[in-house]
Amino acid sequence: MQVFETPIKGLLVIQPTIFNDSRGYFFESFNQEKFNNLTKTNTQFVQDNRAFSSFGVLRGLHYQNNPHAQAKLVSVLHGKVLDVAVDIRPNSETFGKHFSIELSAENKTQLFVPRGFAHGYVVLSDTAEFFYKCDNFYNKNAEGGIAFNDPQLNIDWQIDLSKAIISDKDLVNPSLKSISLD
């Protein structure tokens, strides 16, 4: 596995080593010891989540407030998504900056999203199955969200947003400048 830094400290792109032959392919999608050594973290994942969605479904931007903040290791098992992480760490030099990357079943790329980020994605293929590991358990009372179309963030979701499929909850998320972060 190879780990690549992004312009936002702590946000890492992970490319697994894939072994192809006439039968297909094999790769180790996660190994705790290798992951922690290569990312220079001590992340211990405790929960796995999967979501299936159709083209244009936009989920996000979500985060969990402290002490329930979550680091995530995200990937796509089927299809293709545009994955977006926004730095919401109050004292970060890149606060309010975002990073986006195409994750797909084909490229098998993963993104490590540390605690202190809002996260979301939009499905770019007919359907997609999204998979992510979390280092903290979900807590409904700690939910937070930021508007996917916040002009301060200026995220290019790579689809016509008038055709996006967005939950009622995500349609009313506040702007980044109006949320309170601890």
Kindly give, in sequence order, each residue whose CB lies less than 8 Å from that of residue 44, ignoring residues fewer than 6 positions away. 32, 135
Q: How far apart are CA 79 and CA 125, in angstroms?
A: 6
Active site residue 132: yes
The 8-class DSSP code of residue 173 comes to: P
Active site residue 121: no
The one catalytic residue among 63, 98, 119, 132: 132
Q: How far apart are CA 54 and CA 122, in angstroms?
A: 9
The one catalytic residue among 62, 63, 98, 121: 62
Q: Which residue type, as a one-letter code, is found at position 164? A: A
Q: Would you state the structure tokens that stand for residue 22, as one six-digit string?
A: 């006439």
Residues noted as catalytic: 62, 132
